Chain A
Amino acid sequence: MADSCPRCGFAGVSSAKCPQCGVIVATYQSSLDKMRRGPQPRPAASPFARAAAPTATPVATTPGPTAAAPRAAAAAPTSGSRHAFFRGGGGTLFGIHIVNALLILATLGVYYFWAKVRVRSYLWSQTEFEGDRFAYHGTGAELLAGFVKAVAFFFLPATILNTLPRIVHAGPAVSVVARLLVSVLALVFIPLAIVGARRYRLSRTSWRGIRFSLRASTRDFMALWIRGWILTSVTLGLYYPVFVTNQHRFLTSQMWFGSERFGFDGRGRDLLWAWVATIVLFVPTFGLAWFWFAAKRQRYYAAHTRVAGARLRSTVTAGQLAWLTITTWIGLLATLGLAWPWLTVRKVRRTFAWLSVDGPLAVDAITQQAQRVSTTGEGLAGFFDADLGFT
């Protein structure tokens, strides 16, 4: 029955089990269908209404490609430069923020997780690409669960290791060992937070009803991260561009939009000389050289990212990036954070203006391949402040 795997997209599945990811195809398909259907509908209130729509069976019983065929033929992918747009406003976001602040205070902080969901939902659903809005599907309960797990696995052990030697009056050797253990804990949990948070957020993001996903092994990312961290320290920071590019490649090339995989073909050594120049010029330019490197890196990463036959392109310059970053900081400081909604909207708008998707973008044949994920990384990300830029 040579079919494609509903989980990993592997094309030549000929038995009940996918040879690539090992999933039992029928079981996975039925669990996907269950997620799709949701709770079983109750009997209709009005039999007349049911009768009025005798063909209530959803189209989707027909396989995806056939269903997509007429539409795909009608609208062949066109070349050109596409941008995302942010349609929201700072005023509305401020309103959301205020109500959130009130509810957080009134619930002694418990509402925080639901507040986060409201802000994200607004930001996502005001982002438009090709005429369609993004959607955020996370829930406050999920974020709370992630936080609880992060407290149990990381915060509590770290706190106990930090304070116990003092309380029991342990010798200096014990204190040193405890402190070392806390560092090891952080070294293991930071990559876990990065990859977990990315995985969770992508899985809760959709466009045209199709979920994004990160299908990467957490253990591989930890190995990459710890190795990169050690090499960066040993080479006194010279390895840094290779390290960040390896991270970016790992997270981008294993990112999927439904059945479509993103591609990344950048190499860290291409940024090496720019990095050396940045280090040399950092002090004489009062740190502004950093923005030059950051802008160059953004352009490089975009140019080496592919999806659905298109390529990303960024036109950001060092001046634009420096101006946006510095004015955002000043604005936040001067207003004690009160201008945050407007500054966020401004930042998102600028970022979208710099970034475009070039080339023939073929999305109609892309099919749903959602993944189940854990929330631990999302909770941990809060502790390490490893937010992904978009709150």
Chain B
Amino acid sequence: MRLEWEASYLDGRTAARRPASVRITRSGLEILVPATGARMFWPFRELRQTQGAYAGEQIRLEHGGELAEALLITDVRFLAAARAVAPDAAQLHAPARRRVRVSLTMGALMAAVALAVGIYYVVIPAFARVAAARVPVAWEAQLGAAIVDQFAPRADRCEDATRQARIDAIVAQLTGSIRPQPYTFHVTVVNSPIVNAVAAPGGHIIVFRGLLDRTDSAEELAGVLAHEIAHVLHRDVTRAIVQKASTGVLLTALAGDVSGVVAYGVEGARTLGDLQMSRTAESEADREGMGLLQAAGIDSAGMITFFDKIAHGDSGDATVARYLRTHPTTADRVAALRALAAAGPHAERRLVPDAPWTSVRTVCGDLPAPTPPQ
């Protein structure tokens, strides 16, 4: 076993690098620096190896405190020699383990992927469910108001007091029949051609003009509102927001130091994707919505007619396509609604008997219709 090795010595006081020779002993390294005539003994227990664990890297052994002396050895075989001679040298890196390290890294890759998938599909949804259930209603209402402000700036809102009162009456009838619940519902109509309705946390519901224009009866609107009210009662949107924030943290952990452009690119993709709530949450909201209609004694045929109309309607229309994207209106869904309606009681009473619906739905009546966004 070779015991004498060439090295360079840095004294930690000057930037001069001096050639040195090193001899391995059982308990440490004997170092001779010919340029200064200095002889030193570094016990292995006082040594730190700070470089030389990767291929092509020189071995760096430090001795002392923060501003250490250092010994640099280029020949990687030094490590094996030291480990063979000295029992205390086991802390030094073993180049033979590099192969093992590659397989460990592959294992880590698979474990990281599995862990990330598990967190995404199991941990985050579970956490979001627990967290959303514990958010105080007052916070939800605050958050919801902020979201409404963002979605529907004051200038874009349709504020016609008499027609708004009709819509509020429908909401009151829908929520009047259920057990006591903490939410106060506000419906905001937005002057936008988008065919959509959105539930924000805390009882805020946004209905876009495009959707309102396509309803042919009060019962149809009641069906849409019942669905969104069910989302609010279930805290689906609050949960989606918690989920989205947690996913952001997960992606940051995976991307490591990658900041800036990639983070924003991923962020954009995520925001679009998260507008969609889970299919389970949607059919749950359908079921509960139908329950609300039936409990309130409202004809549930309106809800079915409206979703059927949207599902089979002009899906080539960009404004409708957007609704389909966020509310997967499939034939299955309409069939499920039909089954629920058939099982429930039958209601004959008209919701808004004293005025034609076409005169009520025009909340935005006098405002100019905006051009559809592309």
What is the interface of chain A, defined by CB distance below 8 A to chain B? 32, 34-39, 41-42, 44-46, 49-50, 52-56, 58-60, 62, 64, 67-68, 70-72, 74, 87-88, 92, 95, 97-102, 104-106, 109, 112, 115-116, 119, 121-122, 125-126, 131-133, 135, 137, 166-167, 207-211, 257-258, 329, 332-333, 336-337, 340, 363-368, 370, 385, 387, 391
Contact call A333/B45, Cβ cutoff below 8 A: no
Please name all residues of chain B whose beta carbon is closer than 8 Å to the beta carbon of A105 when the two chains form the complex.
Answer: 112, 115-116, 119, 250, 253-254
Tell me if B257 counts as interface (CB < 8 A to partner A): yes
Contact call B70/A59, Cβ cutoff below 8 A: no
Using A49-B41, A125-B51, A209-B68 as known contacts, list a sample of 19 further A-B pairs with CB atoms less than 8 Å apart, ordered by residue number in A.
Answer: A34-B65, A44-B43, A49-B25, A49-B28, A59-B33, A74-B35, A99-B108, A100-B256, A101-B116, A104-B253, A109-B253, A126-B54, A133-B57, A210-B15, A332-B258, A337-B262, A364-B14, A364-B15, A370-B67
Contact call B257/A119, Cβ cutoff below 8 A: yes
Give 26 pairs: A residue, B residue, CB < 8 Å, sorted on A: A37-B64, A38-B68, A44-B28, A46-B26, A49-B27, A58-B11, A60-B12, A67-B11, A68-B14, A72-B16, A74-B35, A99-B105, A100-B256, A101-B256, A105-B253, A122-B54, A125-B51, A125-B57, A135-B51, A166-B142, A209-B11, A209-B12, A333-B261, A336-B255, A365-B16, A368-B14
Contact call B15/A36, Cβ cutoff below 8 A: no
Q: Which of B32-91 contact A (CB under 8 A)?
A: 33, 35-36, 38-41, 43, 45-46, 50-51, 54-58, 60, 64-70, 72, 88
CA A258 – CA B11 in complex, angstroms?
13
Contact call B35/A70, Cβ cutoff below 8 A: yes
CA A70 – CA B72 in complex, angstroms?
20
Please name all residues of chain A whose beta carbon is closer than 8 Å to the beta carbon of B259 when the two chains form the complex.
Answer: 385, 387
Tell me if B312 counts as interface (CB < 8 A to partner A): no
Please name all residues of chain A whose beta carbon is closer than 8 Å to the beta carbon of B254 when the two chains form the complex.
Answer: 101, 105
Please name all residues of chain A whose beta carbon is closer than 8 Å to the beta carbon of B43 when the two chains form the complex.
Answer: 41, 44-45, 49
Contact call A126/B50, Cβ cutoff below 8 A: no
Contact call A209/B40, Cβ cutoff below 8 A: no
Tell me if B111 counts as interface (CB < 8 A to partner A): yes
Contact call B253/A45, Cβ cutoff below 8 A: no
Residue of A nearest to B264 (CB): A333
Please name all residues of chain A whose beta carbon is closer than 8 Å to the beta carbon of B250 when the two chains form the complex.
Answer: 105
Tell me if B30 counts as interface (CB < 8 A to partner A): yes
Contact call B56/A87, Cβ cutoff below 8 A: yes
CA A327 – CA B28 in complex, angstroms?
50
Partner of B50, one of A64, A132, A135, A367: A135
Contact call A102/B115, Cβ cutoff below 8 A: yes
Tell me if B102 counts as interface (CB < 8 A to partner A): yes
Contact call A88/B15, Cβ cutoff below 8 A: no
Contact call A53/B15, Cβ cutoff below 8 A: no
Please name all residues of chain B whose beta carbon is closer than 8 Å to the beta carbon of A363 when the two chains form the complex.
Answer: 15-16
Q: Which 7 A-B pairs have the closest CB atoms?
A: A38-B65, A53-B41, A209-B10, A59-B38, A102-B112, A366-B15, A337-B258
B273 to chain A, nearest CB (A): 14
Tell me if B18 counts as interface (CB < 8 A to partner A): yes
Contact call B67/A95, Cβ cutoff below 8 A: no
A269 to chain B, nearest CB (A): 31
Please name all residues of chain B whose beta carbon is closer than 8 Å to the beta carbon of A55 when the two chains form the complex.
Answer: 38-40
CA A185 – CA B51 in complex, angstroms?
41
Residue of A nearest to B115 (CB): A105
- Contacts A55-B39, A87-B57, A333-B262; A208 near B17 (Cβ below 8 A): yes
Q: Which of B241-283 contact A (CB under 8 A)?
A: 249-250, 253-262, 265-266
CA A315 – CA B10 in complex, angstroms?
33
- Contacts A208-B15, A329-B261, A337-B255; A50 near B35 (Cβ below 8 A): no
Contact call A59/B108, Cβ cutoff below 8 A: no
Contact call A258/B30, Cβ cutoff below 8 A: no
Contact call A210/B253, Cβ cutoff below 8 A: no
